[in-house]
Amino acid sequence: MKRSFKRTLVFLCMASLAASGLAAEIPRLVSKDGRHALMVDGAPFLMLGGQAHNSSNYPAALKPLWAAIRDAGANTVEVPVAWEQVEPTEGHFDFSFVDTLVKEARQNKVRLVLLWFGTWKNTNASYSPEWVKFNNQRFPRMLDKDGKVFYCLSPFGEETLKADRKAFVELMKHIRQIDERDRTVIMVQVENEVGTYGLVRDYGARAQAAFAQPVPASVLAHKQPPVPGAASGSWSEVYGPYAEEYFHAWAIASYIEEIAKAGRAVYDLPMYVNNALRDPLEPMAPWKNNFGSGGPTFDVIDIYKAAAPHIEFAAPDIYSPEWAKVTATLDKFQRADNPLMVPEIGNAEGYARYAWLIIGRGALGYSPFGLDYADYSNFPLGSKLKDKAMVAPFAAVYKVFAPMQRQWAKWAFEGRTYGVSESEERTPQTIEMKGWKATVSFREWQMGEKHFWPDMKDLPPGTDAPNGGAAIAQIGDSEFIIAGQHARVKISGSGPNEGKSSMYARVEEGSFDASGKWVMERNWNGDQTDYGLNLPARPVVLKVRLGTY
Ligand code: DGJ
C-alpha cells in the first residue's frame, strides 16, 4: 500500500470514529517487567498534577483553583467529591458539583482525579453526611479497649459500608454517564488518608470476633511476619507484636475493597489509596502511636494487596522535605506490584526539586497539594504563599515536561528514565544507565571546576537552599534527553564503555512540539559543555548524543 494512501485511510478511520461519537479508550493501568503506565486515550500519560484545597469542592471555589492550575501548566487536577455533598439526605443524590467540575475541567483542558471523601478523610468522619456522623447506633465508631467510643468510624460497620458503597456506586454511575465519551476523569482515589490515630485497632464486638479468627489465606500468602511466628493461626500467633496494626490494615483494606469493587463494576477507572506516611527511616517496630494505624503505610502494602485487589496502588503523601526521607519513601512505595504516584506533596518551593526525581523515576504522576489560589496557606506543611509565587517553581518544571509528557511516560514505561534531586548535603549523585553513567553535581559555577579555584568563597546566586534536579531519559544507545535546573550533569562511559574516551557529538537545547518532533534551538559547545552540562536556574531540555574514540 502506498504511504499516502495508508495515511488517508488512517485519517478517514479516525474521522469516522469521531463522527460516530465513539468513546475514547477508558483509562487503565498497565504493567510490564515491573514497570507501569497509566494509559489515557490509549497511550501512556504523565500526570503533571495539582491538588485543590479540601474545601474547593464547590462551584464558586473553582475559579481560584483554575487560575492556579493554568499558571502551573498542570494537565490534571485532583479534586475532592464529598459524601456529605452528594448525599446530604439519605437516598437523595446531587451531583451538580461534579457536573460543573467536569465541564470546567474540559474548558480548562485538564483531566481530573476525583478524591472520594467518604467514611474516612484523614481518618475521621468529617466528610460523611450528618445522617451518618451522629448515628453511632447504625454507623458505629471504633471502641477502645475499655469500650469507650473513639472518633473514627469502625471498618466493621456493616451499615456504614453499605451506605458508603451505595453513594460511591452512584457517583461512578454518574461519571460514566457524563464522561464515558471524553474520559476527563482518569482516576479515583477511594477515601483519603485512612487509618486511625491514637488507637491501634477497633475493639468493638465484631472486630474482637474477627481478631480471634485465623489470618485469611490471602494475607498469609502476601505478608511475611517481620518476626518469627506461626505459619498460620490467629493474627497474634502469626504476626506477634505487629498483629493489631496488621489486623486493622486488613479490616480497612477489606472495607475499601468492597467500595472499589462495586464502583469499578459500574465504571472501571483505575483506583488507588493515599497514605499519611510512617517514618521510612525509623527502624521497623510495631505501632507505638507514631502513625495512623491501619492506613496503607509501606509496611502493610502487602496486606492491602491481599485484601484490596481492586485498588491499583498505595500512594505516598509527602510532607517531610528531607531528601533522605523522600527518597526512602519513594523506594518503599515504588514496587513491581505498586506503581509510584505522588498524589500529594508540599507546595512549598523546596518540594519542586523532587519533581525531577519523582518523574525521573518513572512515576505515573506528581501533584503538589494546594495548587490553588483559595485563601488558605498550608504552611508549615506547605508554602506560606497563596499566589503566583507559590505556583512558579512547579510551573517552571511542568513547562519542560508538558510538551514531552506522552514521550516521557512511554520512555518511563520502557525503563529508560532516571531522576535526581539535590540533597541538603549538596553532594553529587551518580546514575547508572546502560553503558553510561551520569554524575549530577550542585552549586557549581558554570565555568570551570571547583578545584581550579580552591580559595574561592563565592557561591552561585539562587542556591542558598537545595533546589536542583535533573531527569534523564536514555532514548538510544548513546543518546539522552536531559531536563533539569540548578545542576551540572556529566556523562561518562560505564559497563561496556567503562574507561573509553568519549565526547559529545551534539548537545542540542530545544523542545518537543505538539506532534512529538524535536525542535532544536541551538547546539551547546565550547564553554557550555567543557565543564559538564550546566543546567541553569530556568529549566532546560537538552538532546544529547555522545560518541567514543
Ligand atoms: C493530607 C490530606 O490528605 C489532605 O487532604 C490535606 O488535609 C493535607 N494533608 C494538608 O496538609
And the C-alpha cell for 51?
491538588
527 burial via Cβ count (<10 Å: 0-12, 13-18, 19+): exposed
Of 114, 120, 369, 384, best ligand 1 pocket probe by most atoms within 8 Å of the beta carbon: 369
Atom of ligand 1 nearest to the CA of 276: 1
> How many Å lie between the centroid of ligand 1 and the Cα of residue 545?
43
> How many Å lie between the centroid of ligand 1 and the Cα of residue 319?
9
> How many Å lie between the centroid of ligand 1 and the Cα of residue 91?
29
Other beta carbons within 10 angstroms of residue 538's beta carbon come to 10
Amino acid 23: pLDDT: 80
As a whole number of angstroms, the distance between CA 139 and CA 204 comes to: 12
Atom of ligand 1 nearest to the CA of 381: 11
Of 192, 297, 342, 345, best ligand 1 pocket probe by most atoms within 8 Å of the beta carbon: 192
> How many Å lie between the centroid of ligand 1 and the Cα of residue 121?
9
Dihedral, CA atoms, 288, 294, 298, 299, nearest 10 degrees? 60
Spatial contact of 360 and 424, defined as CB atoms under 8 Å apart: no
Atom of ligand 1 nearest to the CA of 378: 11
Other beta carbons within 10 angstroms of residue 191's beta carbon come to 27
> How many Å lie between the centroid of ligand 1 and the Cα of residue 190?
14
CA 243 to the chain's CA centroid: 29
Nearest to 315 by CA among 378, 363, 351, 269: 363
And the C-alpha cell for 93?
443524590
As a whole number of angstroms, the distance between CA 131 and CA 215 comes to: 34
Given its phi and psi angles, is residue 467 left (phi above 0), alpha (psi -120 to 50 degrees) or beta? alpha
As a whole number of angstroms, the distance between CA 445 and CA 549 comes to: 29
What is the C-alpha R_g of the chain? 25
Q: Which residue pairs, CB below 8 angstroms and at least 24 apart, start in 509-512?
A: 509/540, 509/541, 509/542, 510/541, 510/543, 511/400, 511/403, 511/404, 511/541, 512/403, 512/404, 512/407, 512/541
* Residues whose CB falls within 8 Å of the CB of residue 282, separated by 6 or more in sequence, listed in order: 290
> How many Å lie between the centroid of ligand 1 and the Cα of residue 217?
34
> How many Å lie between the centroid of ligand 1 and the Cα of residue 346?
9
And the C-alpha cell for 389?
509565587
Amino acid 415: pLDDT: 98
As a whole number of angstroms, the distance between CA 384 and CA 376 comes to: 9
Atom of ligand 1 nearest to the CA of 115: 5
Which residue carries 463494576 as its cell?
265
**Is the bond preceding 380 in cis, omega lying within 30 degrees of 0?**
yes
Kindly list the protein residues whose Cβ atom lies closer than 6 A to any atom of ligand 1.
54, 122, 192-193, 317, 344, 369, 378, 381
Each residue of 32-79: pLDDT tens digit? 999 999 999 999 999 999 999 999 999 999 999 999 999 999 999 999
Count helices and strands (H / E) in the chain: 16, 23
Strands (E), 7-46: 28-32, 35-40, 43-45
Protein residue with least CA distance to atom 6, ligand 1: 54
> How many Å lie between the centroid of ligand 1 and the Cα of residue 80?
11
As a whole number of angstroms, the distance between CA 120 and CA 116 comes to: 9
pTM, full prediction: 0.95
Each residue of 8-28: pLDDT tens digit? 443 344 444 444 567 899 999
Amino acid 22: pLDDT: 72
Protein residue with least CA distance to atom 10, ligand 1: 378
> How many Å lie between the centroid of ligand 1 and the Cα of residue 376?
13
> How many Å lie between the centroid of ligand 1 and the Cα of residue 352?
18
* Count of residues making up the chain: 549
Protein residue with least CA distance to atom 8, ligand 1: 369
Ramachandran angles phi, psi of 338, nearest 5°: -150, 95
Of 116, 193, 277, 371, best ligand 1 pocket probe by most atoms within 8 Å of the beta carbon: 193
As a whole number of angstroms, the distance between CA 210 and CA 72 comes to: 48
As a whole number of angstroms, the distance between CA 444 and CA 449 comes to: 8
Q: What is the DSSP letter of 535?
A: E
Atom of ligand 1 nearest to the CA of 274: 3
Of 317, 383, 384, best ligand 1 pocket probe by most atoms within 8 Å of the beta carbon: 317
> How many Å lie between the centroid of ligand 1 and the Cα of residue 64?
19
DSSP 80-135: EEEHHHH-SBTTB---HHHHHHHHHHHHTT-EEEEEEEEEEETTBSTTS-HHHHT-
Nearest to 481 by CA among 522, 409, 542: 542
Atom of ligand 1 nearest to the CA of 319: 11
Atom of ligand 1 nearest to the CA of 193: 3
> How many Å lie between the centroid of ligand 1 and the Cα of residue 378?
9
Query: Which residue stretches of the chain have pLDDT < 70?
Result: 1-21
> How many Å lie between the centroid of ligand 1 and the Cα of residue 257?
22
Each residue of 277-309: pLDDT tens digit? 999 999 999 999 999 999 999 999 999 999 999
Instruction: Tell me how many degrees the CA angle 72-76-80 measures, rounded to the nearest 5.
Output: 105
Amino acid 514: pLDDT: 84
- SS3 helix, strand, coil % of the chain, rounded to 5? 35, 25, 40
* Residues whose CB falls within 8 Å of the CB of residue 360, separated by 6 or more in sequence, listed in order: 417, 418, 419, 420, 469, 470, 471, 472
